Amino acid sequence: MASNFFNLYTHDFARVAVAAPVCRIADPAYNAEQTIALAEQAAAQGAALVAFPELGLAAYTCDDLFHQRALLDGVLDGLAAILDASTEWKMAVVVGAPLRVEHQLYNCAVVIANGQIQGVVPKSYLPNYGEFYEARQFSSGDYAVATEIDLLGERVQFGSGLLFEVADLPLLKFHVEICEDVWVPVPPSSFAALAGATVLVNLSASNALVGKANYRNQLVGQQAARCIAAYLYTSAGGGESSTDMAWDGQGVIFENGELLAEAKRFVDEPSLTFADIDLERLSRERMRMNTFAQSVQRHAAEVGKFRTVFFPLELERDQPLALKRCIERFPYVPADARRRDERCNEVYHIQVQALAQRLTTSGLKKVVIGISGGLDSTHALLVCARVMDKLKLPRTNILAYTMPGFATSERTLKQAHALMKLVGCTAQEIDIRPSCIQMLKDLNHPYSEGKEQYDITFENVQAGERTNHLFRLANHHGGLVIGTGDLSELALGWCTYGVGDHMSHYNVNASVPKTLISHLVRWVAESGVIGRNDAQVLLDILGTEISPELVPGTADGQPEQRTESTIGPYELQDFNLYYVLRFGFNPSKVAFLSHTAWKDKEQGRWPDGDHVTRNQYDLAAIAKNLGIFLDRFFRTSQFKRSCVPNAPKVGSGGSLSPRGDWRAPSDAQSVVWMEELRAIPVHV
């Protein structure tokens, strides 16, 4: 089957939905009509799976009417109508129905696809407390003897241990449980996830009570997180009996603990709630977290009881189907202001705690740091200031040096001095040009003879001279050299190896990406955590174009070197880093996600309050910069990462320390990634 790059199913996403119909009690024909109408809407939206509430074909609140043959026969007629309609849907539908099996009545979920019943799952746990009396009408599926039943002229699989796998989207393997099943200490879905289910479905009829909706969200969210799965929860709503209860039609879709979509409660009209689930992300999380596999082995007996039903859906892949899921442009930086402040606060204090611990255990009371007037060294200095406060040491124990070279601009030099004054550290300036000229003479470099040859040697002589000074100053004053390079630079190899900005005694920024550092600096400026309100210098630094300032600039004062002109925009490269490092996605999928995030001006906002990013990248720009990232990350830069200084890991987005998240050979090739990159239709 042909695949379209712009189709979400090509990239192992699955569109799913939870339905909240308005039912009529004991009117299966009407309820079937409502089910069909909502299912047709879901199919038209490209859904692969839609779930309806518990006992929805009859209505949950039928009570002893469930033992009336007329009602049960009517339910079968309703199922037959849904079966007939399903021949037109490329989608699986899960509906709730009371069914008779071997002289017993079961509360069941019926899985329908392609005009056939693919399987029937009976409810395991029957609540018989409070307002619930299910054991009065139903039998538990755990004690059912039958594994196959005759239903509407078909021989179908029956039992609580069924998994349903879509043949043309194998990562979509789902399990169904019913209401109370998820409220018990060990839900059936726990073992189903260990048996391979990536999507867990719950048909529920949980009534509305004060505070109950929030509790259900927590319950479902935690189950999705523990099982590293998606969880679809749908509940009965309008039309159910109000004799003793009220109903809110709560529906939620979680993915690995993250809420993707939530239905409005207490609505009077039928509704559908959609979400696009990243099945590959779930699969890779399970693969990465080896304790998941250990759990499979520990519970092998329970896992072995599951049976898998396979069926195709013939999903449409040859036409575009845009991802409706919101993909944040800045995965390391929450778009929500409150969450962003929480993130910055936590990252900052992780860095502070780590450096404070290193100073305490080393017995040192001073730190040595180079200040460029740029972003990374600014944030590192702010961390050092808070560490001194925490350890009750004077900030003058921070020995800060700005070291102008051949290309240092007046702006950054001025900012460096203003920053050091703001912090209240011991501030000094060392002109490294004389020592650099001496080294260039020793090397017989053309620049020492007056020739304007600004090659890599010319650049690295300056970077190395700065670092050499810092280490010798640390020896002289009994201090610790603080590294300032960030995660983005390590990923792209944008640092001078060895005696250069690659090396330090301890690096507080090594697992913080560039896009997050800018927000950390802004957060410090706005929160006043360093104890001063004069934050203009921090805002000036945020507005300074990123440059290593190692090559002399132009006559009009503009920097000759623009970092992002060489290695690509950090906002794109941090996006690439997150999805390559954290999830190992193929380049084509990373590009698809990036295209989704950047194609719409309103889709993603640079998280600066009212500021909206003006940048927009088309697919060609995304592919070009992704190619830069892939080659630098996999082929040219690993040798630098194989011997980095100690540094604290700050987030689940990963670090590049060989002692932490990333171990890789220094002589690897990037061929397979660059070949897969060609799958991106950049000319479309």
Q: Check the annotation: does 473 bind a ligand.
A: no
Q: Which of 158-162, 597-601, 605-609 has the highest mean pLDDT?
A: 158-162
Q: Check the annotation: does 372 bind a ligand.
A: yes
Residue 653's pLDDT band, with cuts at 50, 70 and 90, is confident
CB 388 within 8 A of CB 398: yes
| pLDDT higher than 50, residue 604 | no
To the nearest 5 percent, what fractions of the chain are helix, strand and coil? 40, 15, 40
Q: Residues 227-260: pLDDT tens digits?
A: 999 999 999 888 887 888 777 889 999 999 999 9
SS3 277: strand
pLDDT in the model for residue 558: 55
The DSSP-derived string for 396-427 is GGEEEEE---TT--HHHHHHHHHHHHHHT-EE
d(CA 577, CA 600): 21
Q: Residues 107-163: pLDDT tens digits?
A: 999 999 999 999 999 999 999 887 888 889 999 999 999 999 999 999 999 999 999
CB 19 within 8 A of CB 38: yes
pLDDT in the model for residue 605: 43
Residue by residue, what is the 3-state secondary structure of 447-481? HHHCCCCCCHHHHHHHHHHHHHHHHHHHHHHCEEE
| pLDDT higher than 50, residue 608 | no
The letter for the amino acid at 682 is V
Q: How far is CA 623 from CA 180, 331, 409, 570, 630, in A?
A: 48, 18, 33, 14, 10
Closest CA to 604 of 348, 277, 325: 325
Residue 599's pLDDT band, with cuts at 50, 70 and 90, is confident
Closest CA to 110 of 69, 65, 70, 141: 141
Residue 335's pLDDT band, with cuts at 50, 70 and 90, is confident
| pLDDT higher than 80, residue 533 | no
d(CA 432, CA 570): 29
Buried b (16+ CB within 10 A) or exposed e, 170-200: ebbbbbbbbbbbbbeeebbbbbbbbbbbbbb
Q: Residues 610-636: pLDDT tens digits?
A: 344 557 899 999 999 999 999 999 999
pLDDT in the model for residue 410: 93
More confident residue, 391 or 131: 391
Closest CA to 382 of 346, 340, 424: 424
| pLDDT higher than 70, residue 554 | no
User: Which percentage of the chain shows pLDDT scores above 90?
Assistant: 84
Q: Residues 417-464: pLDDT tens digits?
A: 999 999 999 999 999 999 999 999 999 999 999 999 999 999 999 999
Averaged confidence pLDDT in the chain: 93
Q: How far is CA 38 from CA 19, 95, 270, in A?
A: 7, 12, 8
Q: Check the annotation: does 305 bind a ligand.
A: no
Closest CA to 346 of 530, 526, 528, 520: 520
Half-sphere exposure of 373 (CA within 13 A, CB side): 23
Closest CA to 234 of 203, 199, 262, 208: 203
Q: Check the annotation: does 64 bind a ligand.
A: no
Residue 603's pLDDT band, with cuts at 50, 70 and 90, is very low
Q: Check the annotation: does 251 bind a ligand.
A: no
Cβ-count burial of 448 within 10 angstroms (0-12 exposed, 13-18 middle, 19+ buried)?
middle
| pLDDT higher than 90, residue 609 | no
Give the catalytic positions in this structure.
54, 123, 179
Mean pLDDT confidence for 60-84: 96
Q: Check the annotation: does 518 bind a ligand.
A: no
User: Which percentage of the chain shows pLDDT scores above 70?
Assistant: 96
| pLDDT higher than 80, residue 175 | yes
Q: Check the annotation: does 495 bind a ligand.
A: yes
pLDDT in the model for residue 363: 96
Structural element, H or E, at residue 152: none
pLDDT in the model for residue 611: 41
Mean pLDDT confidence for 460-489: 97
pLDDT in the model for residue 117: 98
d(CA 189, CA 34): 28
Tokens of 402: 């700005």
pLDDT in the model for residue 12: 97
CB 623 within 8 A of CB 589: no
